[in-house]
Amino acid sequence: MVTIVDVARAANVSRSTVSRALSGYGRIGDATREKVLAVAEELGYRPNDLARATREGRSRTIGLIVTDIANPFFAEATKAVANTAAELGYELLVADTNEDAEIERRATRVFAEKRIDGLIVVPAPGGSHDHLFESVGRPAPAVVLLDRRLLQYGVTSVTSDDSRAAAEAVALLASKGHTRIGMIDGNWTGSGFTKTRPRTRGSTTADRSDGFSMGMKRAGLPVRSGWMLYSSARELYAAQTAFAWMLRQAEHPTAIVTNNSDVALAVLTVCREFDLAIGADISMVTFDDANWAKAFNPPISVVSRPVAKMGEAAARELVAQIDVHPPSRPIVLPNVLIDRESVTAPRNLA
Amino acid sequence: MVTIVDVARAANVSRSTVSRALSGYGRIGDATREKVLAVAEELGYRPNDLARATREGRSRTIGLIVTDIANPFFAEATKAVANTAAELGYELLVADTNEDAEIERRATRVFAEKRIDGLIVVPAPGGSHDHLFESVGRPAPAVVLLDRRLLQYGVTSVTSDDSRAAAEAVALLASKGHTRIGMIDGNWTGSGFTKTRPRTRGSTTADRSDGFSMGMKRAGLPVRSGWMLYSSARELYAAQTAFAWMLRQAEHPTAIVTNNSDVALAVLTVCREFDLAIGADISMVTFDDANWAKAFNPPISVVSRPVAKMGEAAARELVAQIDVHPPSRPIVLPNVLIDRESVTAPRNLA
DNA sequence: TTGTAGGCGTTATCAC
DNA sequence: GTGATAACGCCTACAA
């Protein structure tokens, strides 16, 4: 690689003159500058940002740690973060933890060693997250949480108002006459599925379940045991098993809310197996406006989460903090309920 | 941030001793080492990898430039690259070009300044790619192409055998009795759609179209003008418009092949609007086993591309090249045709 | 206007 | 076994 010294030699000037020509600071003669620039161009000189960063104490690089980049939600968030960071003059280091807290710790450490200026993180569920915030070993000067909250630490978080949206989804279903409404939460850290509410903290998943319950209460509807299931996030078929189990109960729901698009796909699959027509036989609303939702027959009604905006907001907030603005209060972006055709009046009322 | 000097001071030894204790090179007394380690731990010392990289001339960081991370195919590839890189001891810098060659150039330059050890790139369509390979200004010592080929430059590429797979898809359709088979290619760089084959080079997209034609020829079937459409990759509804147009032709295809999952979604949407049942009224096979394909009614037959393996292979090949192994020959991984239920005999024969 | 010199945090060579 | 010292490439205060 060609360095500043090489350029200096070739242009018959000193290192500092080259630096001045390149960075445009201090005074320099026009002729000298142009010559230096020409030589640099010709030699294909590229400033060494590592050296610069070492000296300046800032790397102009931020880190993003996600539980699963392949998940459409996080893929789109990543895109927004990457684009916003680039626009703001930062590069993006990415790590995928596969929801494993141990991998998260490792990524955190390595990122810290690379001296990232800030970190956006979707913490892996379960386990302690002290490593992200303890003063000794804090991975970066600035940290922002994406789609998660960790109240104990007082970090800025970017989420969407999932509680309200879940309640709204229930209200929509109730307004069509549904009284037996179920929900499947696909973010359980256990295996298989369970009827008992897991005590999760900080997850927006919990918001959705809570919002569901609240919506049911407001509509004056009971939540029967077995109408609200928590299925494993790791096991591919857990959500299918859960929903199939739900359908086999004596009085099963006539409408279902799912907390992400993967669970929605599971529900759709099971409906096909049970020969149940979406809309006509069973109504549904899912979180996340996946790209396939509009293509289905019938098109699926969804809670569209502001993914791209969340990613962008996280990046902007992070950079603001790097520029030593004080941390913002929690940022909560609005969801929008899009009613397509998967919600109709229940059969027995028709 | 606490440096090696801080640790040295606190432990009452010299910088070199601290370095020895930490990196485990040279000779050092057991007692000294343990003390240093203890002090380092207590102070929360983290080696500064930027400084280390500056000195060693290698950053242990690789770059990934993609046209669209939010695209499920690239999202999964990114995941595989990230995981493999981590396993091999590299961190991953990511950039999204939105298929814009200018952004690609910018990312390339910045990555070079950050002194990445290697680069995996999905080049944006159109425009020159000299900037990736010209000796002066080459962004990294090692470069690997993902899902694209650029024959002129003699770079290693990782692709899947899409030509063969497309021919196989046609064969499957033909074996069920279809004679009027169409294809929609959703990677055209133009706007709207066109009937005339664009001259693209290096794209695996072209492989798919070519394979389709080859498959038709082998089956002794004609490709009527208007049965093979190229629709814009940028415009959201281009593929829908194209397929709707195709359906309105006098003798339209009874089966369709689509070259990616987004186009498949477009076809599905149009079929719903035309009230055509997949399978019964029109058969289809699409490239990419998207997560929704199994959930559809009926489940969609697909060419499953080995995405994760491609990402992993690209990362491994890149690291091998960084370790000065000579570039490998083009790597071509096998696709697998998964016949689900979207392919049946055409109506008029039933 | 231009050059000299020192330091950012590492690692490694060479004396002691 | 340990410490002083130089070097990686850059930037910039200061001197000329």
pLDDT tens digits for range B268-278:
999 999 999 99
Average pLDDT, chain B: 94
Q: What is the pLDDT of residue B72?
A: 95
B40 touches strand C (CB under 7 A): no
> pTM for this structure?
0.95
For residue B220, the distance in angstroms to the closest alpha carbon of chain A comes to: 33
Length of chain B: 350
In angstroms, the Cα distances linking B217 to A103, B159, B167 are 51, 24, 9
A55 touches strand D (CB under 7 A): yes
Q: Which nucleotides of D are covered by protein (CB under 7 A)?
A: 1-14
Beta-carbon separation of A95 and B107 below 8 A: no
The predicted-structure confidence for B94-135, as pLDDT tens digits, reads as follows 999 999 999 999 999 999 999 999 999 999 987 788 888 876
Q: What are phi and psi of A158, to 5 degrees?
A: -120, 120
Kindly report which listed range (A31-35, B54-58, B92-96, B198-202) carries the lowest average pLDDT score: B198-202
For residue A220, the distance in angstroms to the closest alpha carbon of chain B comes to: 33
B23 touches strand C (CB under 7 A): yes
Q: What is the pLDDT of residue A202?
A: 63
CB A232 within 8 A of CB A260: no
Tokens of B118: 């290697």
Q: Between the CA of B115 and the C1' of D2, what is the distance in angstroms?
A: 34
Count the Cβ atoms, other than its own, within 10 Å of residue A177.
15
Beta-carbon separation of B50 and A59 below 8 A: yes
B6 pLDDT more than 60: yes
> Which chain B residues are closer than 8 Å to A114 by Cβ?
49-50, 61, 91
Interface test with A, best of B292, B300, B309, B310 (most A CBs within 10 A): B292
With CA atoms as reference, report the closest residue to A46 among B129, B59, B138.
Answer: B138
CA nearest to nucleotide C5 C1': residue: A16
Nearest CA in chain A to B46: A113
> Which chain A residues are closer than 8 Å to B1 by Cβ?
115
Q: Please tell me the distance from the alpha carbon of residue A192 to that of residue B266, in angstroms, as a whole number.
A: 35
Provide the angle, in degrees to the nearest 10, between the axes of the packed helices A204-218 and A162-175: 30
Tokens of B169: 């898809």
In chain B, % of residues over pLDDT 70: 98
| CA B19 distance to own-chain centroid | 41
CB B73 within 8 A of CB B307: yes
> Which chain B residues are closer than 8 Å to A1 by Cβ?
57, 115
Q: Please tell me the distance from the alpha carbon of residue B264 to that of residue A114, in angstroms, as a whole number.
A: 42
Provide the angle, in degrees to the nearest 10, between the axes of the packed helices B30-43 and B4-11: 120
Q: Please tell me the distance from the alpha carbon of residue A108 to that of residue A114, in angstroms, as a whole number.
A: 10
> Which chain A residues are closer than 8 Å to B66 by Cβ?
none
B25 pLDDT more than 60: yes
* The nucleotide closest to B17 (CA, C1' atoms): D2
Q: Please tell me the distance from the alpha carbon of residue B237 to that of residue B116, in angstroms, as a whole number.
A: 38
CB A219 within 8 A of CB A170: yes
Distance from first CA to last CA of chain A, Å, rounded?
75
Beta-carbon separation of B91 and A86 below 8 A: no
- For B97, the enclosing helix (H) or strand (E) is none
The predicted-structure confidence for B324-340, as pLDDT tens digits, reads as follows 888 888 999 999 999 99
With CA atoms as reference, report the closest residue to B192 among B256, B226, B239.
Answer: B239
Q: Which nucleotides of C are covered by protein (CB under 7 A)?
A: 1-14
B16 touches strand C (CB under 7 A): yes
Give pLDDT tens digits along chain A (350 positions). 899 999 999 999 999 999 999 988 888 988 999 999 999 999 999 999 999 999 999 999 999 999 999 999 999 999 999 999 999 999 999 999 999 999 999 999 999 999 999 999 999 987 788 888 876 667 888 999 999 998 778 889 999 999 999 999 999 999 999 999 999 999 998 899 999 988 776 678 889 999 999 999 999 999 998 999 999 988 989 999 999 999 999 899 999 999 999 999 999 999 999 999 999 999 999 999 999 999 999 999 999 999 999 999 999 999 999 998 888 889 999 999 999 999 999 986 44
Q: Please tell me the distance from the alpha carbon of residue B337 to that of residue A205, in angstroms, as a whole number.
A: 36
Sequence-separated (6 or more) residues with CB below 8 Å from residue A40: A7, A11, A18, A21, A22
Interface test with A, best of B94, B106, B132 (most A CBs within 10 A): B94
Q: What is the pLDDT of residue B350?
A: 42
Nearest CA in chain B to A140: B1
B259 pLDDT more than 90: yes
Q: Please tell me the distance from the alpha carbon of residue A124 to that of residue B150, in angstroms, as a whole number.
A: 39
List of E strands, chain A: 61-66, 91-96, 118-121, 142-146, 156-160, 181-188, 193-194, 228-232, 255-258, 283-287, 301-304, 331-333, 336-338
B39 touches strand D (CB under 7 A): no
A22 touches strand D (CB under 7 A): yes
Q: What is the pLDDT of residue A23?
A: 87
